[in-house]
Amino acid sequence: MEFVLSGSNPAFANSIRRAAMREVPVMAVDEVEFKSNDSAMYDEVIAHRLALVPLRTPLKGYNLPEECSCREGRCPKCSVELTLKKEGPAVVTTGDLKSSDEEVRPVSDSIPIVKLGRGQKLELTAIARLGVGKEHAKWQPGLVTYKYMPVIEFDENCNACGEWVKACPKGILEVVDGKVLVKDLTLCNLCKACVESCPNDAVKVSGDPTRFLFRVESSGAFSPDQLILQAMKVLGEKFEEFSKLVGKL
């Protein structure tokens, strides 16, 4: 998803980015109990691979383990069990995981986990819990990046020689009727190749520090717009807590 944030500042844009990547809770495998593992891979390696499988996460319904009344992170309110039983020869994939909650399952069924030879068995129970990206990358629900909205300005020294058109690696400039036009400003990555190529110093490229082009890529746990909405909720709760504390001073 892409969107433009206007009338803002770099600190606020960065707060949204950080909240989305580090503070929005998402499900990931946190513990694995092995019953048998005859594969060539150690238990630890398989557990690590399982942890990095993105899981679809319902927005409501699960407690963070540290906030759950069970205090152990093992009750149905704060954990989901994914069981796996397979015998080789086969490639074990995420499609072989059976979840105790249909809403919490791998975002894709075709992620390979390990290859089993003839007669080799793998049997395990993986426990998924909610967590946040600042604790471990497996709980990162996606990537959020932003850049300043590009501003490309031409002054009266421009004779539309077309040198910029050739220099721009994104191919967003063109000359029409003796004038240079910008086809898609959002594709500009502020590399300033056009500035360097202009023989008349007639072009200026800068970033607008009040407008930001955001790009959101979700892991698939939930949609990119939900990721941003969840980040807003987290920020809102933090501000609420802060105002309560200030009120007590």
**What is the rounded CA–CA span in Å between residue 88 and residue 83?**
17
Q: Is 59 in the site for Zn ion (CB under 5 A)?
A: no
72-111 positions binding Zn ion, by CB under 5 A: 75, 77-78
Beta bridge partners of 106: 55
Q: Which stretch binds Zn ion (CB under 5 A): 68-76, 96-104, 169-177, 219-227?
A: 68-76
Of 72 and 135, nearer to Zn ion (C-beta) is: 72
Q: Which stretch binds Zn ion (CB under 5 A): 70-78, 139-147, 162-170, 190-198?
A: 70-78
Q: Which stretch binds Zn ion (CB under 5 A): 43-51, 71-79, 113-121, 197-205?
A: 71-79
**What is the rounded CA–CA span in Å between residue 37 and residue 53?**
19
Of 74 and 233, nearer to Zn ion (C-beta) is: 74
Q: Which two tokens stand for residue 37?
A: 């593992």
Of 67 and 217, nearer to Zn ion (C-beta) is: 67
Q: Which stretch binds Zn ion (CB under 5 A): 35-43, 63-71, 147-155, 211-219?
A: 63-71
Of 39 and 79, nearer to Zn ion (C-beta) is: 79
Instruction: Answer yes or no: are the C-beta atoms of 220 and 108 closer than 8 Å.
Output: yes
Q: Is 70 in the site for Zn ion (CB under 5 A)?
A: yes
Of 66 and 208, nearer to Zn ion (C-beta) is: 66
111 three-class SS? coil
N residues, the chain: 249
The CB-of-131 to Zn ion minimum distance in angstroms stands at 14
The CB-of-67 to Zn ion minimum distance in angstroms stands at 9
Residues 6 or more apart in contact with residue 214 via CB below 8 angstroms:
1, 2, 3, 4, 5, 13, 16, 17, 144, 145, 146, 228
Q: Is 64 in the site for Zn ion (CB under 5 A)?
A: no
Residues 6 or more apart in contact with residue 221 via CB below 8 angstroms:
26, 27, 54, 55, 56, 57, 107, 141, 142
The CB-of-57 to Zn ion minimum distance in angstroms stands at 16
| Number of residues forming the site for Zn ion (CB under 5 A) | 5
The CB-of-77 to Zn ion minimum distance in angstroms stands at 5
**What is the rounded CA–CA span in Å between residue 168 and residue 103?**
46
The residue whose two tokens read 């191919």 is 171
Instruction: Answer yes or no: are the C-beta atoms of 222 and 141 closer than 8 Å.
Output: yes
The CB-of-78 to Zn ion minimum distance in angstroms stands at 3
Of 80 and 168, nearer to Zn ion (C-beta) is: 80
**What is the rounded CA–CA span in Å between residue 48 and residue 208?**
42
Q: Which two tokens stand for residue 61?
A: 């319904």
The CB-of-117 to Zn ion minimum distance in angstroms stands at 38
Q: Which helix (H) or strand (E) segment is 245 a member of?
A: helix 224-247
The site for Zn ion (CB under 5 A) is made up of 68, 70, 75, 77-78
